């Protein structure tokens, strides 16, 4: 049965990650991704982290804060062993080893606020 047209476009516009300290989070994510980030906007509560493609990524210091739950998204990577080395260089202990589920492999890790993050590589 066909669905009625929707005014909502089937495209993710932005992913928000809750953080406690917007400036510390901006520095950490800039280092993680090897990029410069914008200055906080929206009364010093939002930082946009530039992505190469796909949805935007925003660090959000608005209350209430919660880091509960599974990863909200993942980043693609070509080499998860290189990701693990990069995390180790940053002092980040992975939350999982590299997990191979057939179509992709992934590694999960936490940011300084405890948000569970994930990098995936295609099989």
pLDDT given for residue 80 in this prediction: 96
Q: pTM of this prediction?
A: 0.86
The average confidence (pLDDT) of the chain is 92
Q: How far is CA 28 from CA 67, 72, 105, in A?
A: 16, 18, 24
pLDDT at residue 9 in the model:
80
pLDDT of residue 64: 75
pLDDT by residue (tens digit) across 99-117?
999 899 999 999 999 999 9
Joined tokens for residue 61:
């210091």
**pLDDT at residue 123, as a whole number:** 84
Task: List average pLDDT for each run of 10 residues in the chain, which is 123 residues long.
Answer: 81 91 96 94 92 93 82 94 96 96 94 95 91
Question: Domains of the chain, with CATH numbers?
Answer: 11-66 (3.30.720.120), 67-123 (3.10.180.10)
CA distance 107 to 56: 21
104-110 and 116-122: which strand pairing? antiparallel
């Amino acid at each position: 049965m066909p669905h009625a047209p929707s005014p909502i476009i089937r495209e993710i516009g932005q992913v928000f990650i809750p953080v406690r300290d917007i400036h510390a989070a901006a520095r950490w994510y800039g280092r993680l991704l090897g990029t410069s980030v914008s200055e906080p906007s929206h009364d010093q509560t939002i930082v946009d982290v530039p992505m190469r493609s796909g949805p935007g990524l925003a660090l959000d210091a608005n209350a209430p804060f919660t880091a509960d739950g599974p990863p909200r998204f993942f980043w693609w990577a070509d080499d998860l062993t290189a990701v693990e080395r990069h995390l180790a260089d940053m002092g980040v202990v992975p939350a999982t080893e590299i997990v191979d589920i057939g179509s992709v492999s992934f590694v999960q890790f936490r940011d300084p606020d405890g948000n569970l993050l994930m990098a995936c590589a295609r099989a």
